[in-house]
């Protein structure tokens, strides 16, 4: 089974890129971020024609998350991260698929730091840690997948010295990510590639992709049960080289769940 995450940076404007990648890599489950689309403009019909059912949590011009599943409609279990009923940002959606609970998230950017946006990011991260601990305690097959807007270590950024004060690399944010993982989650890419520089995002300017001046900010965290099924994890770099593409590349894992 193939499970992927992809920040599409505008689903309607880059729908042809998404469709091309879905046909090329044929993932079974996909978590999408930064839809930048209200709910009524989500391209449900186009995705269904491509063979994917979907649930989504949209927002005009900003944010937005969705979960796709090949051949089935995911069973929606949650829209919105618990812990703040006044948070109107479309940043979390969750569904049950093939006996697994899949949480798709788009964590706040947080810049500039310090500031109100950075404080919101830390509060959102705290809510995620609280909910993540609840999922781990359930001892079920679960995944927390998406754009975390965090480079966990120096290995995850092309020039660490330039990012020390950025909200994506701030010590408080990296500690929050480390604390989340320490609950029992497995960072799939880092688990399979412990010493490699691997990036998932490259800015559009200064030939960042061509120079491989990137960041690893898109992560798949697996509960212990799912981690035991993990067979591969990779960044699918080809779509980042296509015309009119996202500044992120898809990240995909392969798992082998037991047949029962």
SS (H, E, C) the chain: CEEEEEECCCCCCCHHHHHHHHHHHCCCEEEEECCCCCHHHCCHHHHHHCCEEEEEECCCCCCCEEEEEECCCCEEEEECCCCCCCCCCCCEEEEEECCEEEEEEECCCCCCCCCHHHHHHHHHHHHHHHHHHHHHHHCCCEEEEEECCCCCCHHHECCHHHCCCCCCCCHHHHHHHHHHHHCCCEEHHHHHCCCCCCCCECCCCCCHHHHCCCECCEEEEECHHHHCCEEEEEECCHHHHCCCCCCECCEEEEECCCCC
Does position 70 have pLDDT exceeding 90, yes or no?
Answer: yes
Does position 260 have pLDDT exceeding 90, yes or no?
Answer: no
Q: Is the pTM of this model over 0.85?
A: yes
pLDDT digits (tens, 9 = 90+) for 168-207: 999 999 999 999 999 999 999 999 999 999 999 999 999 9
Q: Which domains does the chain have, with CATH numbers?
A: 2-255 (3.60.10.10)
pLDDT digits (tens, 9 = 90+) for 203-245: 999 999 999 999 999 999 999 999 999 999 999 999 999 999 9
The whole-chain average pLDDT of the chain stands at 98
Local confidence band at 75 (pLDDT 50, 70, 90 cut-offs): very high
Q: Name the residues annotated as catalytic.
A: 106, 147
pLDDT at 259: 85
pLDDT at 100: 98
């Amino acid at each position: 089974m193939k499970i992927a995450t992809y920040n599409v940076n505008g689903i309607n404007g880059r729908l042809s890129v998404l469709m091309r990648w879905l046909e090329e890599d044929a993932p079974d489950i996909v978590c999408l971020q930064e839809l930048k689309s209200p709910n009524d403009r989500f391209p449900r019909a186009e995705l269904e024609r491509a063979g994917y059912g979907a649930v989504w949590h949209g927002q005009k011009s900003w944010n937005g998350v969705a979960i796709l599943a090949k051949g089935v409609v995911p069973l929606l279990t949650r829209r919105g991260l618990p812990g703040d009923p006044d948070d109107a940002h479309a940043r979390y959606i969750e569904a049950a698929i093939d006996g697994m609970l899949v949480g798709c998230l788009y964590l706040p950017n947080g810049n500039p730091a310090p500031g109100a946006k950075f404080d919101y990011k830390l509060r959102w991260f705290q809510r995620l840690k609280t909910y993540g601990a609840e999922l781990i305690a359930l001892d079920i097959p679960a995944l927390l997948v998406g754009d975390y807007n965090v480079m966990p270590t120096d290995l995850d950024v092309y020039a660490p010295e330039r990012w020390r004060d950025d909200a994506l690399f701030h010590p408080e944010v990296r500690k929050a990510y480390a604390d989340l993982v320490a609950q029992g989650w497995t960072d799939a890419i880092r688990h399979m590639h412990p010493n490699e520089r691997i990036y998932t995002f490259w800015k559009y300017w200064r030939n960042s992709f061509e120079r491989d001046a990137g960041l690893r900010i898109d992560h798949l965290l697996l509960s212990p049960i799912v981690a035991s099924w993990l067979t591969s994890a990779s960044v699918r770099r080809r779509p980042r080289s296509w015309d009119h593409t996202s500044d992120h590349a898809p990240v995909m894992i392969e798992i082998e769940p037991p047949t029962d």
